[in-house]
Amino acid sequence: MEIFTSWPSWAHAQGPLGAALPATTVDALRDAVAFARRKHGVQQRPTGRPYQEHLLEALEVAVSGAKLSDRDVLVAIVLHDVLEDTSCTEGDLARRFGPEVAALVRWVTKPAGGAKADHLASLVKAPPRAVLVKLADRVSNVQELQRMPWRFQRRYYLETVAYIMPLAGTHPWFARWFGEWRARWRRVERWPA
């Protein structure tokens, strides 16, 4: 199972992105990373690592792993948490990055006060491009699940199997990656609740 952690900063990502994508897409991604960095500020991941690392991991998953090149999908991957975790609005995103990027980010954003399971279940109705955003996000989140407490590991594993893996079936690379990941983590199914 491939792990995507070699782009902890824009300096690490820029070269591989430039080799894989048109310069205009790389420029849009540079702008999105800078915007996300400003919006997320000092926010950290549950592991204590800078939040930007998660955004760049998800981008690395999409470009290096799944070989995605759709500019709007890639920009939405970088921005996928700004509506949920910052003061940024959908209008802010639409004005800065276009209505398609804003719509993709909205699809993967849990509504305020909404149940996470309901939101994840609703993704079966999402456009295929929005599903790609969610899949790249979740690969980043689960690839090093062992860093989290065991109760979190179990809940997140079961949630991924129930809601995310069915979405992965529409994209062969993601289906294969999540299949390998599940085989590695299947022991979690036997853990007590």
Dihedral through CA 98, CA 101, CA 103, CA 105, nearest 10?
Answer: -140
84 counts as catalytic = yes
> How many CA atoms lie less than 13 Å away from 50 in the CB half-sphere?
14
Q: Which two tokens stand for residue 109?
A: 């954003």
What one-character DSSP code corresponds to residue 54?
H
Q: How many whole angstroms separate alpha carbon 38 and alpha carbon 11?
A: 17
85 counts as catalytic = yes
Instruction: Say which of 27, 85, 180, 189 is annotated catalytic.
Output: 85
Instruction: Say which of 84, 92, 100, 159 is annotated catalytic.
Output: 84
Asked if 53 and 13 count as a contact pair (C-beta separation under 8 A), the reply is no
Q: Residue 39, Cα to own-chain centre: how many angstroms?
A: 17
Comparing C-alpha atoms, which of 151, 152, 144, 157 is closest to residue 185? 157
Active site members: 84-85
